[in-house]
Each structure stands twice: as structure tokens, then as C-alpha cells.
């Protein structure tokens, strides 16, 4: 149910969507700085793999229950796949439990809003508790994502905001995360104006500049209470 079923055509489409933000040299500079400590970088990756494997093992019963609820209450796939931008501006296929009646993955993708009519009743619960994000543990095992890092945006959104916000490309210097500094600071939810996204990007850049294993642990611990109730999760 959770295996990679992407065809050669899908993989080619992903490659064609790759974003080129490296012309300024900023992304390359930041990426080199982070990977200048290969031992610590390998440790972070090892921790990602171990925690993801353990979490998936314990969460399998929950996954099964959620899958049944989604299938029984609305038509469509159980797992929603969408192209997101990852390390170095390269796109990947992100996995989530489907929470909407629609499956959007094109050039125009609307941000979710409070009371969004596209969200299913079960989807509202999954989004409020962030349970819908748990299949991204598979993305962590595949190397697309890390447990902690800038949250990946849809490719269409990256193209849009990348043209409007200076330094936006800095987000791609590390693997995107299931959670991140912006999320534990409450910088999620609707994008009412450009400044909302600018604050997220600033938090992402701060995380990259201050990155350490201890910083990751702190963000993970701060994420847990937010899963039990985040007013901006809908």
C-alpha cells in the first residue's frame, strides 16, 4: 500500500520540474558549509533512519485504522502524493494520508484554509493532529526528507514565492523535514499575505544557520505537544 509505484514517465516529469536556484551561488555555499562536517551529517541521517523505522513499526496499527477510515468515508486514494521541492532544489514525491476530496498536483495549488470545503470530515481530524503527515516517515527512509528541516512546499508554490522572496532558495540547502522551526513557532496555516511566507522562510534560514543535533532534538520535543492541539493546523 505504501510502496513506490511511480513509473518512468512520472520520474521524468519530476526531473523536468527541478528548480534551478543555484545561479546566485548562495545555495551551493550553504550546502557546502553544512556538509563540511560529514561525521555529524552522517549521524543526523542515521538518527533519521533509526527513528523512522521504529516509528513506522509502532504506527502500523494506526496506519491500518486510518486507511480503513479514509477508504470508507470518501472516494479516492488512501495515500496522497504530491511533488515537493527537496535538497538542492530537486523535486520528490511526498506522501501524506489523503485529507481532501480533491487530489491537486499541478501548476496551480490552493493553500488550505480554515473551514476548507475540500477537506473531508476524517481529513479534518487527521490535519488537526498532524497524523496525515506520518507517511512522510517513508520519505525519510528513502532519503527525500529528514525528521527535522524546512517543511517542503509544493513545486508550484516554490516557483511562485521563489520569485518574490529574497533568499528563498536557502531552504533547499538541507533536506526538508516532517517538522521544523517554523512549525514549532506556530508559523503554519493560511497564507493571508506575503509576510506570512516570509516569516516561515526566515525561520527556515535560522534553522539552517544554527543547525545542530541538539537543535533537532529540541524541535522534535517541541513538536509533540503541538500534535495534540495546534490552532493553525487545519
* Separation CA 104–CA 206 (nearest Å): 30
Predicted pLDDT at 6: 42
- For the chain, the average pLDDT equals 82
Q: Which residue's C-alpha cell is 485504522?
A: 65
- Note whether 111 and 188 are within 8 A (CB): no
Strand stretches in 45-145, DSSP E: 79-85, 91-97
**Local confidence band at 141 (pLDDT 50, 70, 90 cut-offs):** very high
Q: What is the pLDDT of residues 39-73, one digit of tens each?
A: 778 889 999 999 999 999 999 999 999 999 999 99
Q: Does position 84 have pLDDT exceeding 80, yes or no? A: yes
Q: Is the pLDDT of residue 7 over 60?
A: no
Burial 139-163 (b: 16+ CB within 10 A, else e): bbeeebbbbbbbbbbbbbbbebbbe
**pLDDT for the residue 230:** 62
Residue 83, CA distances (Å) to 22, 210, 216 in order: 20, 28, 25
Q: Are 6 and 94 in contact (CB under 8 A)?
A: no
Say what the pLDDT of residue 78 is: 96
Collect all residues with Cβ–Cβ distance below 8 Å to 83 and sequence separation of at least 6.
13, 14, 17, 91, 92, 93, 94, 105, 154, 155
For 143-193, the pLDDT digits (tens) are 999 999 999 998 888 998 999 999 899 899 999 999 999 999 988 777 788
| First-to-final CA distance of the chain | 25
Question: How far lies 123's CA from each of 115, 130, 175, 198, 199, in Å?
Answer: 12, 10, 27, 28, 27
Of the pLDDT bands very low, low, confident and very high (cuts 50, 70, 90), residue 23 is very low
Q: What is the DSSP string of 196-232?
A: HHHHHHHHHHHHHHH--HHHHHHHHHHHHHHHT--TT
Question: According to the model, what pLDDT value does residue 94 have?
Answer: 96
| Per-residue model confidence (pLDDT) at position 190 | 75
Please give the Cα distance from 154 to 91 (Å, whole number).
Answer: 9
Per-residue confidence (pLDDT) for residue 228, from 0 to 100: 72
Determine the 3-state secondary structure of 14 from DSSP: helix
* 225 vs 176: which has the higher pLDDT: 176
| 93-127 per-position pLDDT tens digit | 999 999 998 876 666 667 677 778 889 999 999 99
Q: What is the pLDDT of residue 198?
A: 94
- Domain range annotation of the chain: 24-227
Per-residue pLDDT, averaged over 85-93, amounts to 92
Please give the pLDDT value at position 66. 97
Strand segments (E) across 9-145: 79-85, 91-97
Main-chain dihedrals φ then ψ at residue 83, nearest 5 degrees: -70, 125
Amino acid at each position: 500500500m505504501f510502496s513506490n509505484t511511480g513509473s518512468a514517465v512520472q520520474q521524468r516529469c519530476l526531473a523536468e520540474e527541478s528548480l534551478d536556484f543555484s545561479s546566485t551561488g548562495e545555495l551551493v555555499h550553504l550546502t557546502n558549509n553544512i556538509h563540511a562536517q560529514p561525521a555529524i551529517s552522517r549521524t543526523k541521517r542515521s538518527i533519521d533512519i533509526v527513528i523512522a523505522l521504529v516509528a513506522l513499526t509502532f504506527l502500523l496499527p494506526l496506519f491500518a485504522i486510518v486507511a480503513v477510515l479514509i477508504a470508507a468515508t470518501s472516494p479516492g486514494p488512501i495515500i496522497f502524493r504530491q511533488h515537493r521541492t527537496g535538497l538542492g532544489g530537486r523535486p520528490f514525491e511526498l506522501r501524506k494520508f489523503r485529507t481532501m476530496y480533491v487530489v491537486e498536483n499541478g501548476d496551480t495549488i490552493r493553500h488550505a484554509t480554515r473551514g476548507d470545503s475540500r477537506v473531508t470530515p476524517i481529513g479534518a481530524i487527521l490535519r488537526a493532529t498532524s497524523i496525515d503527515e506520518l507517511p512522510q516517515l517513508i520519505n525519510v527512509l528513502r532519503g527525500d526528507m529528514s525528521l527535522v528541516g524546512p517543511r517542503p512546499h509544493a513545486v508550484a508554490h516554490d516557483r511562485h514565492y521563489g520569485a518574490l522572496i529574497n533568499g528563498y532558495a536557502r531552504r533547499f540547502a538541507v533536506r526538508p523535514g516532517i517538522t521544523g522551526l517554523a512549525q514549532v513557532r506556530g508559523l503554519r496555516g493560511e497564507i493571508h499575505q506575503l509576510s506570512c511566507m516570509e516569516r516561515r522562510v526566515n525561520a527556515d534560514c535560522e534553522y539552517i544557520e544554527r543547525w545542530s543535533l541538539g537543535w533537532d532534538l529540541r524541535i522534535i520535543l517541541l513538536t509533540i505537544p503541538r500534535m495534540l492541539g495546534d490552532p493553525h493546523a487545519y
